[in-house]
Structure formats: structure tokens, C-alpha cells
Structure 1
Amino acid sequence: MAADNSLSPHGGKLKLSVAPSSEAPHLVAGLPGLAVNEQIAREIINLAYGAFSPLDGFMGRSDLDSVVRKMRLSSGLVWSIPIILDVSSREWAALGGVIGSRVLLNHQDQPLAVLDVSEVYSYDRAFMAQHVFGTNDPEHPGVARTMALEDTFVAGKVTLVNPPRVNPPFDQFWKTPEQLRSRLDELGWKYAVAHQTRNVPHAGHEMMMKGAYLASGADGILVSAVIGEKKPGDYIDEAIVLTHALLRAEGFFLPEIHETSTLMWDMRYAGPREAVFHAIVRKNLGCTHHMFGRDHAGVGNHYGRYAAHEVFDTLPDLGIKSVLTLEWWYCPVCESVAYEGICGHRDSKQDLAGTLIRSIISGGVGPAVTTLRPQVLEAVRHCAEKYGMGSPFVTSEYLENRTPVITVPEMACCTCPEHQPK
């Protein structure tokens, strides 16, 4: 049966903006160039392919202020996280950009996209941080990111002119929203439940996915692994996607009900607001449901354990159903994974999200099927050797030497055969 995408995309249709290859060289000719970092490059890709629909570019002041204050765009449509392009006033002045002009956005010293400048403005960064994250604590990573923004914001539609190449092993998992919807069609999924992850899957994750699959009545589970900014101690991206795919390959999920994909996104750790954002993006990918567990997108003690559950009570018009699950842990008395509200041995609980799994992966504790699949452990260690310079966790060496997730190819200066890149 065909996939039922009636609940998506957000706002009614995917906003696509990718220039035909034959036109791209002419669009970029003579434009002033602005170099963008990896975060902005990833957001350009999401804007151009529709993952951030209904946005088709970086927010203007009216939309930003409405999102900050009310968690809605100025149109009234729910949106929870600012998508903005920041630049220093000095750099912008040197660039000579003005409202109504076009600017070339470069990444890895190559053209990536064209920005049609619609507005240039400033905004109170401390005010933004307080409202989006509920705190101005400089130790909060989202607050730190916001306060580090430059003093000028440039709004406007972006058009991708040079689609980047997605490098292995991510190339087998990354799809545009259109491509992913087609894949859901192929699988025959009328209803799909999304599982957001930044972790190697342990037994609690597996049970969470299976529980959400049954609770939602979905036809399948879309694992959506977040690939973005990394910090020391995180799992390496390669291990995350390959171990989730392994669950399907090893038969822990039937192949017709489990699919692994990636989302290029830099976590803001905005707790309930980011939960809403994740739901909207997975809605654009074609999902009808999204599972949310304990402390989704949280950090430290800034949000309640189930704040990401409570926020959906205030958003009846979101258009994607949230599947809310409590906490899974390992119970040594039951010798199995236990669920909040069922197991009576809470005083003996072992947190699967913390040191237990990391000690298993690091070799300090022997693996047990009830905590971490031996096949997953083997795959993690293989990834450590192949991709992580010997470690399954992010190190400074990994950050310096890893193959980038995307590579922006050399762009031809025109369409003449003799000037095409070799």
C-alpha cells in the first residue's frame, strides 16, 4: 500500500530549492562570496531539500521574534527553533551585500548555495537564549552557541547550486525528504514512527523502538540518526548508523518494519522545544508518529525528565502524533530490561544510558544480551578501528582526521565541456 503522507509536510508541501546543474554556473557568476561553517552548510542542505519546510531560507526578524516568544512562525504555524544566518557587521559591510542582492554561500572553498537577501537585522541574543532554552546559563551548550553568534543576521531564500557528495558509510543511509518518502512507499508503510538517536543502540533502545512500534500501530520504525557537530566523548557517527542498521541485518527487526536513515543537524539541547522541532522535521520526512523517551534533547538538569512529553499537550495542531515512553533500564534482579511503572526493583536499577554501556564497549564489563547485543559490540569495535582511530568515542584525533560526512565538489565555472571539473 502507498505511504500516507497526509500529515506531512509541515505547512502543506515540501519547499524545494535546488538549481538545475545547467543553470547553476550562471547563478553564481560574479557574486560576492561568504564562507559558511559546517552547521550552516548542513542547514542549507536541509532548507534546499525541504527538511525544514515550510522554511525556504534563513529567518527574518518577524519570524525569529515570533518563534522565540511564541514557538510559532509569524504565519501562526508551529515552529520552535531559530534557523538563522549570522555574520559579523564588519564582514557584511566588507561583502557589500544589500537587501535585494544575491550572495554566494561557500563551503570547503567551493560554491554551495545562493542567498537572495531579503533582510539584514540584529536581535538580542541573551533574550533569544532565555526564551528558547529557558535559561541563560553559559554552561548550557545551546546558550553558549547562541551567545557566540555574530551581531548581524541575514535573511533570505537559499538555492542549492552545488549539491554535496555524502561520503561512506553515510551515503547508504542519507536521503532527501522526497527520496525517503519514496523509500517508505517501497516498504509499503502507511504509518511510520520515527526514532531519534545519537547513540549506539543498547537493549533499552531496542525495547523502546519495539514498544513504540506496537503502541503506535505503525507499519515500520524509521531510525533517524542525528549527524552533526561532535564533542569528545560522543559516539562516533559511523558507529551509530552502522550498529542501528545491524539490528535489521541481524534479524532483531524484520527487514520490512525497520529502516535506518540520517538527519544532518547540530543539536541545540533545547529539551521540549527541540522535541517539537524533531517532530516537525520527521513529519517532513514522511513520518506520522515520533517516539519520545526520558529527557529527550535535554542536557544537565535544565529540563524535567518528561518535559518533552508535556509540551505536546499544548500543541494540538502539530500534525504528527507523539508516542511517549517512560524509562527503560536494566534490572539485575529480573536479569532483564525493565520499564518504569512495571518493575518493582527500582532501587536496583542500572542506567543503560550511562556508564554501564560505555564500560561494556570499552571492555571493562562483559557484554550480556540483556544489555547490549554481542553483534552490536563487535560492530562498534570494528567501527572504532576503521573510523575512530581505535576508539568508538570521539577524540581530538578523530575530529582532526575523520573523513567529512559531506564533500562539496569542485564546481564548473560554466557549462562548456572543456571547463568541467575533472
Structure 2
Amino acid sequence: MKAIAAELASAELEALVAPHGGVLRELYLPAAEAEALKRRSASLPQWTLNQRQLCDLELLLNGGFSPLQGFLGRADYDGVVNEMRLADGTLWPIPIVLDVDEAFAAKLSENAQISLNDTQGTPLAVLTVEDVYFPDRIAEAQQVFGTTDRTHPGVSELLDRTGSVYLGGRVQGIQPPAHYDFASLRLSPRELRDWFHQHGWHRIVAFQTRNPMHRAHRELTLRAAEKVGAKLLIQPSVGRTKPGDVDHYTRVRCYRALLEHYPRDLATLSLLPLAMRMGGPREALWHAIIRKNYGASHFIVGRDHAGPGKDSQGKPFYDPYAAQQLLAKHQEELGIEVVPFPAMVYAANRDTYVPQTEVQPDDEVRDISGTELRRRLHNGEAIPEWFTFPDVVKILRERHPANARQGLALFFTGLSGSGKSTLAQAVVARLLETSSRPVTVLDGDEVRRHLSKGLGFSREDRDANITRIGFVASEVVRHGGVVICAPIAPYANARTEARQLVEAHGRFVEIHVSTPLEICEARDRKGLYAAARAGKIKGFTGIDDPYETPVTPELRIDTSQVSVADAANKVFEWLQAQALA
């Protein structure tokens, strides 16, 4: 009874602090208990969290994922995937799971505890494993994302880079993940609720974004706040967004500059350490629940909220207003009021922004797409003030200086003997004869001799080899260079990880050298294929180990159909068309 009374008292306190937020389930232990658990964690099995898992753990620990108290067990997982509900019926749209590989799961005893660590080995929490299960990830993709198309970044991660075993169980927090950037803006749900209470903010409308904000966004948020009579919380996702997005350091600087253009005491900025899934309607519902936990009373849902764009057939993954419809359906039980809003467009003849739904036939509508904005920044062209504010432009120009060459990685992949190394050399020659840009070559055999010396040919070692190539390539690209990679890279998940490493800083161009297996065997001067056929070499790609064919490479070239020179010309012409050469 004492425990129940204490929980009720806690609930009453929460209601006083933030009447809209509900009860926070923070999972951090008291300081003395946390210190004791930290010491004991050294003797437990150790799991190093990836970026998504690290973001998920932080929001579990600080209450951002309330009412969750850990990673989902099988019953909760099945309910979320199939019905958007936990096993007890609570609305929850996105699976929050700890995925591991089979080898790690096999070492765990019943009710094992494991230490959850950051990449530096610092223990952040301990998970008591209550459930170990093998999910059907194809079914999960179809139900959660509505597709199995790997063009969708959430699907690609789920199918190609997520561990095959899920662990469920309660989490006990030792300490929060360390953040050294924008510390004053990284408020926990409790801290943000306290801030609202101290400043007398009772109605708060939250706005989610993963891109820089411009005048259209300002106009939309101002109108939304005015419509519901609320203060404005700008809360961008800074944990992980869509590959290729503007880095969060630049974005936060832009948000700070934009904040100065709102009326005094109307808007505030706080950062959300969320790993987005780009899950469209389900993700919008998830975002609303999270903002409720942070103390917001209202949540803005715009056109194509959290949508990843178009699928491999060129069609949008989600209907532009599907998210608004789903949230309207669950409005009563959400605990936060949804504010649907159409896109804002600039009517030049009226010199004002208007909702897209209110455009008149004689309006002269203007817009600048993200692609067009990047082109103007690259070329040093003017960016009109009707589109954004000069201080925002200044920050974007600092990040993307005019006429600066963006770093570029050309990633050739194909079977042994496909001609990828020869083609790569020919492309290097074309680049060097037409440009003074520095070019680095990471050939598969050379990498094996130096960068990846000591690695074998198990799937794990092959993935590690490609990850190392991706990391080095990303560093070359980050400094504006061109890097040519030519490994076999048989596995899709490793190629995708290399792409993500590079795309954080520049362009990644995947070139599948699709020469047929029989041609590759006929070209084999070292006799490797013959040895593999005879069983003398095990795990040889194309014989007794698979080559996972790229689904949507930027280029696909069969060197049995064209000469090396013509193939190199094809690559070079494509690069010129993309303004990359």
C-alpha cells in the first residue's frame, strides 16, 4: 500500500508540474543505487549501443517514451506491430526494441542482466532480459512502414542492419548519455516541464522538424500558435534523421537565428534526441505522444509528416494527409491536441504567405525546393528574403560556401573478376586528366593488405572491412576530396552502412559492376573460382557465399557488354550530368 500511495503522490506532483503531460516514467536509479549498479555492471555481459539504440535508451531513461519502462517483450512487440498498442491496450505505434546478433543472444542465461554501454564503454543502464525472440522483420516492415521497399530508410535499416534477435525487459538507468554540444538546449521532459511551469506557460504547441526552418515555417508556426492561443515549442530531432539531411550543428544554429524573428516570449527552442524512422503516419502519432511527455498541450502536424519521399517506383510512400487523418482518429485518447496545418506558400502578387488550401487562381505562387536552395548556395546565387532571413542564409553559406566542391565517393561493387578495379582505375584517369581535385583510391586488395590486415572472410569480418572502407571514405569526402572504392562488398547492409557514413558529409555513388558470374569465372587468372568449385576455398562470393545484388545503385555497368574505355565514359558522363565532375 505504501508503494501505491507513493506512486499516487508522484502522479499528483506531475499533474501540478505539467497538467498536459501525464505521469513521467523516468528510469534512472537514485544516485547511491546507480553508483552500486555501475560497479556491478563491469561483471555483466557488455552491449555497445549503436546510434539508434543510444537515442532510444536516452528517451526511455528520461521519460520521453513514457509509459514504456524498457525494451518491448514479445507480447508488447506483437501488439505494437499489428495494432499500434501495447499488450495492455495502451496506444503506442513504433516498436522500441533492443536488437542483437544471435551470437550475443546465445550467451545469455535466463533472466540475464546486461550492461548497456556507449561507444566509449561507459555503462548507461542495465537491462534485465525478460524475453528473447526472433521477429519477422519483413512483417514488421510491412505493418509499421506499409512497405518492404528498401528505398525507405526505415525499411532499409530494419531489413539490412538490424540484429536478428530482439531482447525485451526492464531498464535501470545509471547515467544519461554524454552530450557536449548545445547542452543548454538539451532539456529532459522533466526539465522542460519545469521550465514551462516557471515561465507560466500553460498552453504549448510543439513543432517537429528535421530541416532548417525558413519564413514559411515561421508563418506556419505563428498561425498555429495563434489559432490555439498557445506558446510555441520548436523541438527539432537531433538524434538521427534521414541520410543526407543537413547536419544538426548547422540546423541548430539556424533555429537560434530564426528564434530572434518571433515575437518576444512566444517561442522557445529545445532539442529532441530522437532516432527518426521516417515512418509517416505512425511516426507522427509517436511524435505526438513524445511531445505530450515533454509537457506540450498541442502538436502541429503538417503535410507528409515524417515522410521519406518517394519509393523505388517514384511514388510517394504516404498520402500527404494520412498522418493528420490517423491522429484525428486517435485524438481523444492521445492526451495532446492535434493542430493540422497545410503547407504555407508564398503568393508574390500579395507579398504574403498563405495556406496552400487558400491559394487563389490568380495568385503567383513561388517556392524554392531544397535542391534549388543547395544549387543557389553552391553557385553563390542570391536567395530572396521572401524565402528566408539573411542571418539564416549567412549560416547556410558558411556551411556550404559558394563554388566549394562537395566531397564524392564512387563505390564500385561486384563479383571478383567483374572488372570493377580496372574500371575504377580508368575513371580515376578520366578525373585526373580533367580536374585538379585530389583523388584517393581504396582498392579492395590494397585495403585488405593494409587497413583490414588480420580480418578473415566471415560475414562479420567482411562487414567490418566495408565499414572501415566507409569510414576512411567519409573522412576523405568530409574534406572535399574524391575517393574511389572498389571492394567486392557482397552484403547489402554493409554497403548501406558505408553509404550512410559518407552521406553525412557528401555524395555517395554506388556503381554495380554487374558482369555475369560465368564471365567472371572465365576471366579468373588466379584460379580462385576453380578452387572454390573444388571445395578448396570456402565462403567464396558467388560460389558458396551469396552476393546480394544492389537494388537501386546510381549506375549499373556490365563490362562484358562494353569496353573499359566506354564504361569509364559512361561513369564520367553521369558525373558531369550531376555536376559532380
Give the TM-score, by structure 1 length: 0.85
Q: Which residue of 1 aligns with 2:278?
A: 269
1:173 matched residue in structure 2: 185
The 3 A distance-change label for structure 1 pair 232 and 87 is closer
Q: Which residue of 1 aligns with 2:356?
A: 340
Matched, 1:64 2:65: no
Candidates 462, 478, 490, aligned match of 1:397: 478
The match for 2:383 is: 367
Q: CA deviation at 1:343?
A: 2.3
Kindly report which structure 2 residues correspond to 1:161-200, keeping only aligned pairs within 5 A, or say none. 161-168=174-181, 170-200=182-212
RMSD value over aligned CA atoms?
2.7
Separation in structure 2 between the aligned mates of residue 374 and residue 160 of structure 1, nearest angstrom: 44
Q: How far did residue 370 of structure 1 move? A: 1.3
Q: In structure 2, what residue type is equivalent to 1:371?
A: F
The yes-or-no answer on 1:51 pairing with 2:64 is yes
* Bigger mean CA deviation after superposition, 57-66 or 340-349: 340-349
- Residue of structure 2 aligned with 1:89, choices 102, 111, 118: 102
Q: Deviations over 1:250-290 (max 9, x none)?
A: 3x113411111111112211111000000000000000100
Runs (5+) with no aligned partner, structure 1: 403-422
1:289 aligns with 2:293: no
Deviation at 1:136, TM superposition (A): 1.4
Residue 210 of structure 1, CA deviation = 0.2
Superposed displacement of residue 79, structure 1: 0.5
* AA in 1 matched with 2:383: P
Equivalent residue of 1:120, what SS? Answer: strand
Give the structure with the higher percent helix. 2
Per-residue CA shift, 1:331-359, capped at 9, x if unaligned? Answer: 33434333212221588533445334334
Aligned-pair CA distance for 1:360: 4.4
Distance 2:242 2:283 in 1: 19
Instruction: Name whichever of 362-371 and 30-39 sits farther off.
Output: 362-371
| SS of 1:197 mapped into structure 2 | coil
Are residues 1:206 and 2:218 paired? yes
Contact residue 4 and residue 191 of structure 1 kept, 8 A: no
Q: CA deviation at 1:383?
A: 5.1
Secondary structure of 1:341 counterpart: helix
Q: Does 1:381 align with 2:397?
A: yes
Q: After superposition, what is the alpha-carbon deviation per residue over 1:145-172, rounded to whole angstroms, capped at 9, x for unaligned?
A: 221222111011122223332112x212
Shift of 1:58: 0.5
Question: Separation in 2 of the partners of 1:172 and 1:390?
Answer: 34
Percent identity, please: 33
Amino acid across the alignment from 1:40: Q
Superposed CA offset, 1:96-123 (max 9, x none): 2223221011221322221111111111
Measured after TM superposition, the shift of residue 247 of structure 1 is: 2.2
- Tell me whether 1:38 sits opposite 2:51 in the alignment: yes
Tell me, in whole angstroms, the C-alpha distance in 1 between the residues paired with 2:77 and 2:175.
28
> Is the aligned partner of 1:144 residue 2:156?
yes
Q: Deviations over 1:190-220 (max 9, x none)?
A: 01110101111111110111011011211x1
1:324 aligns with 2:334: no
**Number of corresponding residues:** 390
| Map of 1:237 onto structure 2 | 248
Alignment partners' CA distance in 1, 2:250 and 2:388: 14
CA shift in 2, pair 1:317/1:231, >3 Å = closer
Secondary structure of the residue that 1:206 maps to in structure 2? helix
Q: 1:350: which partner in 2?
A: 366
Q: Is the 8 A contact 2:28 2:175 kept in 1?
A: no
The answer to whether residue 326 in structure 2 is matched with residue 307 in structure 1 is no
C-alpha distance in 1 between matches for 2:29 and 2:187: 15
CA contact (8 A) 2:132 2:165 kept: yes
The code of the aligned residue for 2:88 comes to S
Relative distance call for 1:242 and 1:272 in structure 2 (3 A) is same
Q: Paired residue for 2:111?
A: 100
Q: Partner residue of 2:19? A: 6
Residue correspondence of structure 1 range 127-142 to structure 2 within 5 A? 127-142=139-154
1:119 to 131, 135, 138: 131
Q: 8 Å contact 1:119–1:155 — kept in the other structure?
A: yes
- Read off the aligned partner of 2:292 and give its amino acid letter: K
Gaps of 5+ in 2: 1-14, 311-315, 407-473, 480-500, 505-581
For 2:336 and 2:369, how far apart are their aligned partners in 1?
27
Secondary structure of 1:23's aligned partner: helix
Correspondent of 2:257 among 241, 246, 266: 246
- Tell me if structure 2 keeps the 8 A contact 1:115–1:156: yes
- Structure scoring higher RCO (CA < 8 A, sep ≥ 6) equals 1
Task: Report the alpha carbon displacement of residue 175 of structure 1 after superposing the two structures with TM.
Answer: 1.0
Give 3-state SS (helix, strand or coil) of 1:166's partner: coil
Q: Which has the larger radius of gyration?
A: 2
Instruction: Name the residue aligned to 1:227.
Output: 238
| DSSP-derived class of the 2:269 partner | strand
In the aligned structure 2, how far is the partner of 1:255 from the partner of 1:24? 45
Aligned residue number for residue 156 of structure 1: 169
